[in-house]
Copies of this chain bind each other. A is one copy, B any other.
Amino acid sequence: MTAPPPPPQSVLLTDLYQLTMLQTYVEQGMEELAVFEFFVRKLPPSRSFLLSAGLEQALEYLETLRFSDWELDWLTAGGRFSTSFVDYLARLRFTGDVHAMPEGTVFFPNEPALRVIAPLPQAQLMETRLINLLHFQTVIASKAARLVLLAQGKPLIDFGLRRAHGAEAGTLAARASYLAGFAGTATVLAGAQFGVPVYGTMAHSFVQAHTDESDAFEHFAQSHPDNVVLLLDTYDTEAAAEKVVALAPRLKQRGITIQGVRLDSGDLADHARKVRRILDSGGLTHVRIVASGSIDEAALRRLVEAKAPIDTFAVGTHLTTSSDAPYMDCAYKLQEYAGRPCRKRSEGKATWPGRKQVYRRHGSDGRMAGDVITLESDLQEGTALLQPVMRAGKRLTSPRPLADVRAANADELSRMPEPLRTLREGASYPIRVSQALQDLAGSVDRGG
């Protein structure tokens, strides 16, 4: 069973300027079709590729977008908006088309990851929340993908809810990291909402609340005979490992097997080796070692390279805040209005005009060989990355279970060229802007 869907976020979760612009559009009758595209302007210095995520929540937002009575009352009471505009908002629904890259697609700067075609007020209104949803999950999926590559096949678990930025960040980080290849999360609600596998056993306070560490371990094992993972570092890690060895036979008599131990502080590689030796000497070769505690990319790389005998890594804060790159320079920009291509020319923020498509070529080894960004009307060789996902405000297919989406993309990271897969610093990927698109940009600049 899964949870009832969370109540939709208020449509007032937006920037005020969306509403002020809308009133002018409505008053001026500017309701022709607009084309907006979401893209990332440039990569954070510590990233060489991005993994798309958040489309599912974005489509749900579009499909359910409407103003409730209290929202309309609040807008009216504020005195900023005309009665006729508030009436317009009461009737507003999203009736447009959306093309997008499937979740879990590797992509790069200036490649549109999502395109909206809708009457201008509809396409404009959604900007803030659409970016809010796509940006965050893409930040997390892109971070998680790096950790997955670094872990070289060892399972990773998200432990980061407590330091995620609020409630939604916690559940969506669990979702996005699972999509990118994490094995699961500690966040229960992410299990209930998205079916992400949920893991967890005990905290230091559990050990401290007992007067004796062995009692703590034994009590836990009795309560959870199928999920016995014991936390070793509350006082002295190796001493605790000895207690585990001493406890194991007593538990075995009662049919309980200790499945794992967790290390959460100190030199994790060193503790893992010592604990592994203690466990193995005590006949507990089957007991797995989970490591956690401020693990970031550098620590994970060191632990894997040092061949520390760690079976599972739990990553918290550095995953859910994407601490080394907590944001991306991304935008949702008007590219065409009423059939007229548009281009913003602000310094350092110029955009490519028109309705675009991204084609990706693959080599004979199946590896990604290069992308071309072009106009939708300009067919090119390769796979078109933007696919139709919504027409006239309705999704073209019903949402798939997250585990299926994850499985469908399981080999996406392995298709990247070697320098990207190995996270080589400064690695880049060939992306070409087509002649057709360059010509259109020139023509727009000349006012043509």
Residues of A in contact with B (beta carbons under 8 Å apart): 1, 3-4, 6-7, 9-10, 12-21, 23-25, 27-28, 30, 34, 36, 70-71, 73-74, 77-78, 80, 120, 124, 127-129, 131-133, 135-136, 139, 159, 161-173, 186-189, 191-192, 198-206, 208-211, 219-220, 222-224, 226-227, 233-236, 264-266, 294, 317, 321-323, 326-330, 333-334, 337, 340, 342-349
Contacts and interface: CB of A to CB of B under 8 A. Distances in A.
Please state the number of chain copies in the assembly: 2
A200 B80 CA distance: 11
A199 B1 contact: no
A70 B3 contact: yes
21 contacts: A3-B10, A12-B189, A14-B189, A15-B188, A20-B201, A24-B206, A24-B220, A24-B223, A28-B219, A78-B191, A163-B327, A163-B330, A165-B173, A165-B321, A204-B333, A204-B344, A208-B334, A211-B340, A235-B346, A265-B348, A323-B327
A159 B131 CA distance: 13
A203 to B, nearest CB: 6
Contacts of A13: 161, 167, 170-171, 187-189
A347 B265 contact: yes
Contacts of A132: 161-164, 166-167, 170
B164 A165 contact: yes
A12 B161 CA distance: 11
Contact of A342 (B139, B171, B188, B208): B208
Nearest to A324: B326
A52 to B, nearest CB: 17
A166 B53 CA distance: 13
B162 A169 contact: no
Given A20-B220, A132-B164, A139-B165, 19 more contacts: A1-B74, A12-B191, A13-B167, A14-B161, A17-B186, A17-B203, A24-B222, A25-B209, A132-B166, A135-B162, A164-B165, A165-B321, A169-B169, A205-B333, A209-B337, A233-B347, A265-B346, A265-B349, A322-B326
A30 B36 CA distance: 58
A124 to B, nearest CB: 6
B163 A166 contact: no
Contact of A317 (B172, B226, B321, B327): B327
Contact of A21 (B25, B77, B206, B321): B206
A326 B321 contact: yes
B266 A346 contact: yes
A337 B208 contact: yes
A165 B162 contact: no
B234 A344 contact: yes
Nearest to A199: B16
A264 B346 contact: yes
Contacts of A10: 3, 6, 189, 192
Contact of A224 (B24, B173, B348): B24
Nearest to A267: B347
